[in-house]
Amino acid sequence: MCSIMGYCSRSAAFDVFMKGFEKTISRGPDDTRVVETGDGLLGFHRLSIMGLTPSGMQPFKYGNSYVVCNGEIYGFEKLKEELSVKYTFESESDCEILLPLYQEYGTDMFDMIDAEFACIIYDGEAREFIAARDPIGIRPLYYGYDKEGAVIFASEAKNLVGLAEKIMPFPPGHYYKGGQFICYCDIAKVDTVCHDDLETVCKSIHDKLVAGVEKRLVADAKVGFLLSGGLDSSLVCAIAAKKSKERIKTFAIGMSEDAIDLKYAKQVADYIGSDHTEVYMTPDEVLSSLETVIQLLGTYDITTIRASMGMYLVCKAIHEQTDIRVLLTGEISDELFGYKYTDFAPDARAFQEESQKRIHELHMYDVLRADRCISVNSLEARVPFGDLDFVKYVMAVDPELELNTYGKGKYLLRHAFEQGGYLPDEILWREKAAFSDAVGHSMVDYLKEYAQKQYTDAEFERRCKSYTHARPFTKESLLYREIFEKYYPGQAEMVADFWMPNKEWEGCDVNDPSARVLSNYGDSGK
């Protein structure tokens, strides 16, 4: 994954910088380098994925300018070839093109690259720092200001605890320059609605997702796949199996006694012919890992924490037992095609607005979960459903087509892959189970039961009142918030609120984020 940090002040103390920067060395355990620019410090922890030789080590330098980037730039070879007329490159790293791009195009470069990235540039000529983040926020970046008002950027909030009074996520699709955040791409905004017919839309969805998976198979390090047995991860794995020359490696996790999805994951693995590994977790592992997971996530959100328990443990097993360094996952499909609760959307406009809201907030929830659970185990996450071309297209599709009028959620995505033998019908058309439920209904029950024992009713009422932003509303949410505050005191505003169904919609006024409390959950997860 790599970790980056920039302290944009001449008075930045090296030892203070390193104390914060060392907290994310697991993101980049292969090498560390910090440079003094003359106006501040730039640091880089490396996880070698592309251009594995020492020449690919960052920060990259051009003249008096530097850049650090945690990112993957797809199709960088074409840009590199164009830039090679004027610039000499020393490595095979995709990120080496960033400074030449900046020299040629300035901040216009950010909208030119097909990438998931977070970067900090020091412009040696202007003697200023510029930072930017990809339009979805797949790669993490946070910022805060020290007591003198100097801005500090870092891959994770934990880097900035103790350095900045208030820590906030860097807004996706923006760059920072001259003290301002400027939007260069609002990925969820639709300029022109796509009124293609159903079959044309589904063919485009098919072709663009296949392209999104295919480009993410390119790596100089070994690639693996998380396979839950649900539609989204199964499609990613099925496409990859068709496009890969070698047998792909898939991994699934579940509770030993009631892991709903393990049987479906195995069915998919057998069907696509993957080298499949099952990982089992116990109630004791779940509870003993809870504080670790909240600390590494930097959130108190119920859904994110529940879904992270299995993801963290499966990634931990992959790190400890294999030499895989890159993992493809199925995140972001729900925000595009709908959840169980979006079946309750009163009309197409409401569906579209909800989808836009979720895309804008993704970096605080599912994307955060995938990044932290994977990166803390020194692995890199790649998210095909977050492919920029794919997301822009799906967001532009007429929402009337996306509403669940078909008697089956995510119909467009399912229909798009109905031909071609990607998945068995039983998987392609299976009802969705939430990942936190699907690894074992009992896992969520264990967490809720454990939280219930931590407080009397009177204690719960009293302690909840001490919070104003995103006030806890169940004993489980209070437990998570108190653990969060232990590691990120006073930083609750880093998260917008709890991820919950839209309570303004009829049928969605529930007190638990799990889809299984909704009336339409039906046969999901059986």
- Name the residue range of residue 130's domain: 3-183
Catalytically active residues, by annotation? 2
User: How high is the pLDDT of residue 515?
Assistant: 74
Among the candidates 183, 217, 241, a domain finishes at 183
Among the candidates 148, 183, 218, a domain finishes at 183
> Is the residue at 190 inside a domain?
no
**Whole-angstrom distance, CA of residue 18 vs CA of residue 234:** 41
Assess whether 80 and 218 both reside in one domain. no
> What radius of gyration, in Å, describes the C-alpha atoms of the chain?
22
Assess whether 272 and 242 both reside in one domain. yes
Assess whether 445 and 331 both reside in one domain. yes
Give the three-state DSSP class for 44: strand
- Going from the C-alpha of 193 to that of each of 248, 345, 392, the distances in angstroms are 37, 19, 11
Q: How many domains does the chain have?
A: 2
> Is the residue at 478 inside a domain?
no
| Ranges of residues in the chain whose predicted pLDDT is under 50 | 436, 438, 524-526
**Whole-angstrom distance, CA of residue 173 vs CA of residue 183:** 6
> Is the residue at 525 inside a domain?
no
Assess whether 110 and 77 both reside in one domain. yes
Q: What is the CATH number of the domain that holds 254?
A: 3.40.50.620
* Token code pair at residue 507: 């049928």
- Of 347, 312, 302, nearest to 512 by C-alpha is 302
> Is the residue at 108 inside a domain?
yes
- Angle at the Cα of 129 (from 126 to 132), degrees rounded to 5? 125
> Is the residue at 294 inside a domain?
yes
Assess whether 179 and 209 both reside in one domain. no
What's phi and psi for 188, nearest 5 deg? -90, -10
Q: Which residue has the tokens 């409390």?
A: 517
User: How high is the pLDDT of residue 261?
Assistant: 77
Contacts of 164 (CB under 8 A, 6+ apart): 143, 144, 145, 146, 152
Contacts of 241 (CB under 8 A, 6+ apart): 247, 248, 272, 273, 274
Prediction pTM value: 0.95
Q: What is the CATH number of the domain that holds 79?
A: 3.60.20.10
The dihedral through the CA atoms of 159, 164, 165, 168 has a sign that is negative
CA 104 to chain centre: 30
**Whole-angstrom distance, CA of residue 349 vs CA of residue 31:** 49
> Is the residue at 136 inside a domain?
yes
Assess whether 376 and 433 both reside in one domain. yes
User: How high is the pLDDT of residue 440?
Assistant: 53
- Of 134, 248, 261, 130, nearest to 187 by C-alpha is 134
Assess whether 129 and 236 both reside in one domain. no
**Whole-angstrom distance, CA of residue 423 vs CA of residue 267:** 9
93 and 30 Cβ atoms separated by less than 8 Å: no
Assess whether 172 and 66 both reside in one domain. yes
User: How high is the pLDDT of residue 439?
Assistant: 56
47 and 325 Cβ atoms separated by less than 8 Å: yes
Assess whether 209 and 130 both reside in one domain. no
Assess whether 445 and 326 both reside in one domain. yes
Assess whether 113 and 215 both reside in one domain. no
User: How high is the pLDDT of residue 173?
Assistant: 98
Assess whether 179 and 216 both reside in one domain. no
118 and 69 Cβ atoms separated by less than 8 Å: yes
Among the candidates 130, 149, 183, a domain finishes at 183
> Is the residue at 501 inside a domain?
yes
> Is the residue at 485 inside a domain?
no
